């Protein structure tokens, strides 16, 4: 039985709401990111609970909670706060990433940006932002002012990059969604 897309969307939306609710909360935590680490863990737990409520036999891999062994035919991958530094800085370019694989093939994915209420989601054949279908461009001229290279914020420390337009938003998935 295939996974209805409603469930990954629901899980991402609930996790995003949890993270927003914890934004700015003063939490006594020993982790390097303090309250942000708590938000990561709390959001992931809510996402896990939502997925396992609908699919108790599926396997899960979460950035914070590790592996939940289950049916290998369906494997969920969770990054509860993609763009933790952006989240910690209260920038809106962070989100909840949830993907599901079926038989080792990507089946569906969701990237929800709670601060902007943008829900990017799709399968290997279609993609949407909220309810609007996203259509790919045929090509882009690399000399166009619209062409850019997305890099991590510390790329300049590790690489010599010779491209005229660089962009670092704080979340790799946001870069992919905005392409």
pLDDT per position as a tens digit, 20-32: 887 654 444 444 4
What is the structure's pLDDT at 33?
Answer: 52
Report pLDDT digits (tens) over 112-140.
Answer: 999 999 999 998 888 999 999 988 777 77
Distance, CA of 14 to CA of 23 (rounded, Å): 14
CA dist list (Å): 88 to 28, 80, 93: 15, 13, 11
Residues found in the chain: 179
pTM score:
0.80
Which residue is listed with tokens 């996203």? Answer: 134
């Amino acid at each position: 039985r295939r996974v209805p897309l409603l469930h990954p969307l629901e899980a991402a939306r609930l996790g995003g709401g949890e993270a927003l609710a914890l934004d700015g909360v003063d939490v006594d935590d020993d982790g390097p990111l303090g309250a942000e680490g708590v938000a990561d863990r709390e959001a992931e737990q809510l996402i896990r609970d939502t997925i396992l409520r609908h699919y108790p036999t599926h396997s899960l891999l979460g950035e914070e909670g590790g592996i939940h062994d289950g049916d290998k035919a369906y494997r969920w991958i969770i990054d509860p706060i993609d763009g933790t530094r952006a989240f910690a800085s209260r920038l809106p370019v962070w989100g909840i990433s949830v993907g599901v694989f079926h038989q080792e093939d990507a089946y569906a994915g969701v990237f929800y940006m709670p601060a902007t209420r943008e829900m990017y989601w799709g399968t290997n054949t279609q993609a949407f932002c909220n309810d609007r279908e996203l259509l790919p461009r045929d090509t882009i001229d690399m000399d166009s002012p619209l062409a850019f290279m997305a890099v991590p914020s510390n790329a300049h420390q590790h690489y010599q990059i010779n491209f005229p337009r660089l962009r670092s938003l704080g979340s790799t998935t946001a870069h992919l969604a905005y392409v």
